[in-house]
Amino acid sequence: MTTADYASLPGRARRELKARAKTRPVDLRVGRKGVTGNLLAELRKVFESGDLAKVAFSHSERPERLALVAELEDKLAASTVATAGKTATLYKPRAK
């Protein structure tokens, strides 16, 4: 799923996802090493149990964080629901 796919969801569904993202605790933290195989494996486990994953980044520069979020979107076939400061919430619909 890409960001365009998320944007194609009805407005009510997008609002519901953003509301859930706001109160969700952080699932994983991305450290200095960035996106690693272990991080991707753990995110896949989170997506097996639900459709949202909240990730916090230790990188202080916004362009670095945006690049990491884009990398996660590509590697996990997920889309960003919301970003706030150093956190991002990813959405990937569960397989039926």
Whether 4 has a pLDDT exceeding 60, the answer reads no
Q: How many CB atoms lie within 10 A of CB 53?
A: 26
- Report pLDDT digits (tens) over 15-25: 999 999 999 99
Confidence grade of residue 10 (pLDDT, cut at 50, 70, 90): confident
Which pLDDT band, with edges at 50, 70 and 90, does 7 fall under? low
**Which runs of consecutive H residues, i.e. helices, occur in 1-96?**
3-7, 11-23, 37-49, 62-76
Angle at 27 between CA 25 and CA 31, to 5 degrees: 120
Confidence (pTM)? 0.86
28-72 pLDDT tens trace = 999 999 999 999 999 999 999 999 999 999 988 999 999 999 999
User: Could you tell me the two tokens for 81?
Assistant: 């629901």
Q: What b/e string do you get for 57-87 counting C-beta neighbours within 10 Å, with b at 16 or more?
A: bebeeeeebeebbeebbeebebbbbbbeebb
Higher pLDDT, 8 or 47: 47
